[in-house]
């Protein structure tokens, strides 16, 4: 499967549709089961606070996965992602209530590269703080 976005139609500065993702404690339990990451900082409020966190936090890899969805939804093909990396700058704090937390993700084409690829820079925010730094994906377009 190839990306549905044509390389020729994309310019530097092209903005990807922004998305907001909800994260609840139930989401974290589901992710822990799927990933095998049962670290208590992701589900045990008492433990999280004892180790200096403000509350339970989302898994970093979960946050990273939600952010790249902006790119894969844009291309229509998860296989179009050639490279992806981030730095974890702040945790996504997930309170024990019905709302949980949100992760707001936006993206922009930063550079057109060779081989029909572009670099997309992502911004991921939660509670007004940037939670991922240097969030970049190289994407092969059609």
Domain CATH code at residue 37: 3.10.129.10
Edge-first strand order for the sheet with 81-88 is 15-23, 101-112, 117-126, 129-140, 81-88
Give the residue-averaged pLDDT of 78-97. Answer: 97
Express each pLDDT in 20-76 by its tens digit.
999 999 999 999 999 999 999 999 999 999 999 999 999 999 999 999 999 999 999
Identify whether 1 is part of a domain. Answer: no
Q: Which two tokens stand for residue 138?
A: 């190289």
Q: Are 32 and 42 in contact (CB under 8 A)?
A: yes
Identify whether 136 is part of a domain. Answer: yes
Length of the chain: 142
Q: Which two tokens stand for residue 114?
A: 């060779």
pLDDT band at 13; cut points 50, 70, 90: very high
Identify whether 102 is part of a domain. Answer: yes
User: Is residue 3 predicted with pLDDT exceeding 90?
Assistant: no
Domain span holding position 130: 7-140
Identify whether 41 is part of a domain. Answer: yes
Task: Report the C-alpha dihedral over residues 103, 135, 133, 33, rounded to 10 degrees.
Answer: 50
Looking at the structure of the chain, the number of domains it has is 1
φ, ψ of residue 123 to 5 degrees: the values are: -125, 125
Identify whether 2 is part of a domain. Answer: no
């Amino acid at each position: 499967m190839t990306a549905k976005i044509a390389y020729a139609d994309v310019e530097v500065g092209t903005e990807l549709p922004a998305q907001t993702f909800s994260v609840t404690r139930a989401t974290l339990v589901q992710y822990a089961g799927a990933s095998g990451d049962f670290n208590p900082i992701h589900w045990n409020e008492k433990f999280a606070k004892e180790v200096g966190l403000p509350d339970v936090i989302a898994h970093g890899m979960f946050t990273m996965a939600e952010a790249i969805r902006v790119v894969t939804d844009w291309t229509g093909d998860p296989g179009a992602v050639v490279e992806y990396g981030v730095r974890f700058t702040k945790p996504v704090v997930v309170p024990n209530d019905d709302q949980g937390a949100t992760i707001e993700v936006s993206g922009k084409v930063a550079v057109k590269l060779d081989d029909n690829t572009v670099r997309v820079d992502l911004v991921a925010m939660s509670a007004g703080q940037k939670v991922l730094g240097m969030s970049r994906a190289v994407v092969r377009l059609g």
